[in-house]
């Protein structure tokens, strides 16, 4: 089998709900276990053993929830938009199922990022909320997720719902660089980037490692949820056909 034929075969298998159902079933247990292990390790390390920040004291520890949630809220949205683009171009219905799964977990991550950001902002800024560029664009991201979910469920015809929600997801990608670069483009109260930059991360190593572990934990949680929810959608689709 040539490389081209192997890629083509893999691509067709990727779009098969039956293949994805079995693939996700085989790997769901391992991604879930690894997610739990990373959560336990990262939270224990970050909350109990990482040193306190010299300016913020122990209040900085909320970053071990806030930063992964905020980062994954953007990463999941980009993944969702890519799935929708593939679905619209190659007519793969499975990718829309994956996109709907990503939308749910992405909305949860975004809401968690906004909540933990507000909890951190009260002792740091003296207020729960400010119409800061980063916070406002993150709030818009939550509305985009909720709009995608509502639109994909509101229209009775599945093909029409997939097309409409897919276009919304792709258009909404413009908000992602706005969120990321908002602290650079506008005067902002929000702290600048500490780990996602080309220079050396401006965070102590003993604080950075548990944060990276929590990033991995959130990523594995997202993958596990997508596996579980997409398998459920595939089963519901098969039941409707019976």
Percentage with pLDDT > 70 across the chain = 91
Mean pLDDT of 153-167: 95
Mean pLDDT calculated for residue range 97-106:
98
C-beta of residue 47 within 8 angstroms of C-beta of residue 60: no
For residue range 56-65, what is the model confidence (pLDDT) as tens digits? 878 889 999 9
Decide: helix, strand or coil at residue 228: helix
The predicted model gives 8-14 an average pLDDT of 71
d(CA 160, CA 102): 19
pLDDT of residue 196: 53
Domains, the chain: 19-241 (1.20.120)
Residue 71 CB-density burial (10 A; 0-12 exposed, 13-18 middle, 19+ buried): buried
- The reported pLDDT for the residue numbered 210 is 96
Mean pLDDT computed over 21-34: 97
DSSP state at residue 190: S
Mean pLDDT of 18-39: 96
- Poorest-pLDDT segment among 8-12, 117-121, 225-229: 8-12
Span 22-34, mean pLDDT? Answer: 97
Query: Is pLDDT at 191 greater than 80 in this prediction?
Result: no
- pLDDT at residue 205 above 90? no
pTM of the model: 0.91
Mean pLDDT value across residues 158-170 = 97
Is residue 133 within 8 A of residue 183, CB to CB? The reply is yes
The mean pLDDT of 29-52, rounded to a whole number, is 96
The rounded mean pLDDT for the chain is 90
Place of tokens 């809220």: 73
Mean pLDDT of 19-37: 96
For range 176-180, the mean pLDDT: 93
């Amino acid at each position: 089998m040539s490389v081209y034929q192997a890629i083509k075969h893999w691509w067709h298998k990727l779009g098969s709900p039956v293949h994805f159902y079995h693939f996700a079933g085989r790997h769901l247990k391992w991604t879930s276990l690894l997610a739990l292990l990373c959560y336990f390790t990262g939270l224990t390390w970050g909350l109990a053993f990482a040193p306190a920040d010299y300016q913020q004291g122990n209040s900085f520890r909320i970053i071990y929830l806030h930063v992964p949630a905020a980062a994954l809220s953007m990463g999941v949205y980009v993944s969702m938009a890519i799935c929708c683009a593939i679905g619209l171009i190659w007519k793969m219905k499975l990718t829309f199922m994956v996109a709907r799964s990503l939308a749910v977990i992405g909305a949860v991550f975004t809401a968690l990022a906004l909540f933990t950001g507000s909890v951190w902002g009260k002792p740091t800024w003296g207020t729960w909320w400010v119409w800061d560029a980063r916070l406002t664009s993150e709030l818009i991201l939550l509305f985009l997720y909720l709009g995608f979910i509502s639109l994909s469920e509101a229209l009775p015809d599945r093909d029409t719902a997939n097309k409409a929600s897919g276009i919304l997801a792709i258009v909404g990608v413009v908000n992602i660089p706005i969120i990321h670069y908002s602290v650079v483009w506008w005067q902002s109260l929000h702290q600048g980037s500490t780990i996602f930059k080309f220079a050396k991360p401006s965070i102590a190593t003993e604080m950075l490692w548990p944060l990276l572990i929590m990033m991995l934990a959130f990523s594995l949680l997202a993958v596990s949820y997508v596996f579980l929810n997409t398998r459920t959608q595939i089963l519901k689709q098969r039941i409707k056909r019976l």
